[in-house]
Structure 1
Amino acid sequence: MKIRVTLLSEQPRTFELDGRLGWATTKLVEAGAKGVTPFTHPAPRWSSYVFSLRELGIPIETIMEPHEGNYPGAHARYVLSCSAQVQLLGSEVLT
């Protein structure tokens, strides 16, 4: 998957991403304000994807949430901190 993402902030910026970073960014944009968790969008390395995207300058907030069950503890919810537009290269625009 190769995408072009435009952050719609005070100074719009555009990035081209592929692979898992493209996939993770697309899921963050689709989720909007509710964000994503490893439970809602299973992937092996969410924290790594978020770290890499932040290094590129993409603003992502981490909200820690408790969970119950056999292994109680906390998990992260990742939320894109600005509006964005994603275009699958060679395809339609997703907002």
Structure 2
Amino acid sequence: MKVQVTLLSEPPRMFELDGRLGWTVMQLANAGARGVATIKHPAPRWSGYVHALRKMGFQIDTIMEPHDGPYPGQHARYRLACDVQIKALGAEVQQ
């Protein structure tokens, strides 16, 4: 998967992201204000992908939420806190 992401900051910045970074931005953008809870959308390295995107200038909020079950604890919910435009580059982009 390869996407072109325009970070609508001042001035706007454009990135071409592929693989899991492109996938992560798509997931966050599609989730909107509710964000993505890692416990419901497991991925190998959510925290790593979010860290890399933050270093590029993307504003992403982290909200820690409690959960019950056999292994109670906390999980992260990530929410994109900036405006972006995403354009698919290639035919295999999945949302």
* CA deviations over 1:13-51 (Å, ceiling 9, x no partner): 211100000000110011011111222322111000001
Can you give the 5+ residue segments of structure 2 that lack an aligned partner in the other structure? none
Q: Which amino acid aligns with 1:5?
A: V
- Alignment map for 1:71-90 (pairs within 5 Å): 71-90=71-90
Is the partner of 1:11 in helix, strand or coil?
Answer: coil
Number of aligned residues: 91
State, as a whole percentage, how many aligned pairs show the same letter.
63
CA distance in 1, matches of 2:84, 2:61: 14
> Partner residue of 2:47?
47
> How far is 1:10 from its partner?
4.0
Question: Structure 1 stretch 9-18 or stretch 43-52: which is displaced more?
Answer: 9-18
After superposition, the CA RMSD in angstroms is 1.3
Does the alignment pair 1:6 with 2:6? yes
The normalised TM-score by structure 1 is 0.87
The normalised TM-score by structure 2 is 0.87
Question: Structure 1 stretch 34-43 or stretch 4-13: which is displaced more?
Answer: 4-13
